[in-house]
A and B are shown apart, each in its own frame.
Chain A
Amino acid sequence: AQSVTQPDIHITVSEGASLELRCNYSYGATPYLFWYVQSPGQGLQLLLKYFSGDTLVQGIKGFEAEFKRSQSSFNLRKPSVHWSDAAEYFCAVGQNSGNTPLVFGKGTRLSVIA
């Protein structure tokens, strides 16, 4: 069965600093990988996804993520964080066959300080 680990429960960064949120997954075949963001009181919004091809994926709001099969990781990065990026970030893994649901990590809460 698939599983997702987001090792960092809470991260605080200064505005303008770079950001990396970690995500490790467990899945036997090539996974479908997603990053979602949730602002307070809101639903989840897709930031980016990886299905195949180029392992460096660009998303919205200046985010990118890199799929590293050897490390079973799909870390999210942003070169310069803005105060509006403060939110909760969820990594999720799916598969390209069958109708199994997405499996989400427990999330990383990002705080941005001036």
Chain B
Amino acid sequence: KAGVTQTPRYLIKTRGQQVTLSCSPISGHRSVSWYQQTPGQGLQFLFEYFSETQRNKGNFPGRFSGRQFSNSRSEMNVSTLELGDSALYLCASSTGHPSGETQYFGPGTRLLVL
């Protein structure tokens, strides 16, 4: 099976712009979780989608949003980018239970906000 893929791998934006990141889970996986990874804060949970529904949301401002499509692919969007949004954004997929199963991670999208 193909692994989790994320596009793009690298992105440079300027403050105030918006960005959309994409994640394609492993075939058959219906749960997709998103994380923000920074040197200071480590891995922070953004949100999790299952069958096109957001089941969990982390403590991030409303500028961070996401969605999931019927084929389980997911996108996350960050509007009005701030310098502090520079990070590695990771998505992970599992068959259905993000906390009780193995999550398979993509390589991440590295976002730099100038």
Contacts and interface: CB of A to CB of B under 8 A. Distances in A.
Interface of A: 32, 34, 36, 41-46, 49, 51, 90, 94-107
A100 B43 contact: no
B98 A101 contact: yes
Interface of B: 4, 33, 35, 42-43, 45, 48, 50, 55-56, 58, 90, 92, 97-100, 102-108
Interface of chain A: mostly helix, strand, loop or mixed: loop
A101 B42 contact: no
Interface of chain B: mostly helix, strand, loop or mixed: strand
Contacts of A99: 48, 50, 55-56, 97-99
Contacts, number: 64
Interface centre among B43, B98, B105 (most CB of A within 10 A): B43
Contacts of A44: 90, 92, 105
B33 A101 contact: yes
Contacts of A103: 45
A93 B55 CA distance: 18
B100 to A, nearest CB: 5
Given A43-B4, A43-B90, A44-B90, A102 B106 contact: no
B58 A101 contact: yes
23 contacts: A32-B100, A34-B102, A36-B105, A42-B107, A43-B105, A43-B106, A43-B108, A45-B105, A46-B103, A94-B98, A96-B100, A99-B48, A99-B50, A99-B97, A100-B99, A101-B48, A101-B58, A101-B98, A102-B33, A102-B45, A103-B45, A107-B42, A107-B43
